[in-house]
Amino acid sequence: MTAWQTDFGIPIAVVHFFDQEAFAVSLTKVAEFRRAYDALSDAGRRRLQVTSGIFAKVQDYDRVDMQGAGEQKPVFIITPAAAEKIGDIKGVTVTSQVDVSGSKKYVSHVLFTGGDLELRPDFVEFLAGLAKPVPAPTKARVPAPSKLREEPGYGTTAQLL
């Protein structure tokens, strides 16, 4: 996703909807955290996680309907302190569903239906901030020498030959 964001120049906001509220974080912020996290020692990683409010872990995803088959995926947990609250959700109906899998195991699911998202005005400002162009890196200008030295020595044409 970060490559797509870079290739097309369109910023991505990662949004998580809960049953009562929703939060967003820029994909750039998560990518910057990941780069910093990967470069640190274990102690540095713990410090980064506590101070940033973003936590990295490997999540187990069990598939009870597949007789114990599962997988592990690296995930990032973004605390509300590290995210932008985008709004409140009202009127959600929470129900449950129970099925029997092919392996004769009970599988339960929580279902969220309905509801309305009331966006906070500062969420629009958050999105507008994502769209601001990043300033291009500046290059230092080195003035050309007023006089070229022709004798051999450090930094001269004769030294390169």
> The tokens of 70 are what?
């599962």
- At what angle are helices 42-52 and 27-38 packed, to 10 degrees? 160
**Which tens digits make up the pLDDT trace of 71-89?**
888 999 999 999 999 999 9
**Which tens digits make up the pLDDT trace of 35-67?**
999 999 999 999 999 999 999 999 887 766 556
